[in-house]
Amino acid sequence: MSFIVELSLIAGLLAIDDRAGWQSLLAQPVFAGSLVGLVVGEFQVGVAVGLVLEIIWLSILPMRGQRRPDQVAGAVVGAGTAGLLLRLTADPRILLITAVGILVGLIVGEVTGRLLSPFNRFQNVVLGRVDLRNSSRIASGLLGLQLASLVYIFLVEGLLVFTFLSLSLNVTEWLTGAVSLVGSQGWLRLLPIIGAASLIHLYWQHSLKRVLVMFTVLTVLVLWIT
């Protein structure tokens, strides 16, 4: 429970950095996953989960009405789930645990991204109703609004991560315990496919389709000849 609380606090701080702070790179999945790995004591797994989530989410841009996943919650819950499973269960199947963490991160990122929409709308409505026309109170009013917004972002993100991380640990602990060692080796064959699909999704643009298809055909031919 102490780890879950710590990771929830970290998620709240990273959410402030991502949405209302100085917007450093710490909120990016690869760095957030690495930070979670350091806290949990499973740095390599945290980096692996964060790196894959970073590659997948690089192709999603918040434009034309497209909703961006909650990268902070996804990275913290995904890396936290994988790291805590390894730490608390001593499961030797590192590859399987890492894959489970990536899957959990993707799901949580999408779900929390949708759940944050009404919270963001509520925040915007409240801020829009504040009257700052009195010049003597503009400075203090703006400072108070900023502090209130930071606290609101911190609490919402922290509560979401606390809820989903607690749920994820219970579900994944049961799931990984029910999976046999032989069946988990199938991830070795799926990982290259997932990697190739992520790269295709990243570069699947109208101007690059022909180049992508051409290099795919050339790669298959070279592999077949050798």
Supply 155's token pair.
């609490």
Looking at residue 139, its amino acid is A
Q: Residue 131: its pLDDT value, please?
A: 62
- Maximum pairwise Cα distance, the chain: 78
Q: How far apart are CA 112 and CA 168, in angstroms?
A: 13
Which phi and psi (to 5°) does residue 200 adopt? Answer: -65, -45
Two tokens at 80? 């936290």
pLDDT of residue 9: 93
Ranges of residues in the chain whose predicted pLDDT is under 50 = none
| pLDDT confidence of residue 173 | 81
pLDDT of residue 56: 82
The pLDDT value recorded for residue 10 is: 93
pLDDT value of position 103: 87
pLDDT at 7: 92
pLDDT computed for residue 217 by the predictor? 76
Give the separation between CA 139 and CA 39, rounded to whole angstroms: 38
Number of Cβ within 10 Å of residue 103's Cβ equals: 16
Ramachandran area for residue 20 (φ above 0: left; ψ -120 to 50: alpha; else beta): alpha
- d(CA 61, CA 145) in angstroms, rounded, equals 28
> Would you state the pLDDT for residue 184?
52
Which residue, among 158, 150, 179, 13, has the nearest Cα to 77 in the 3D structure? 158
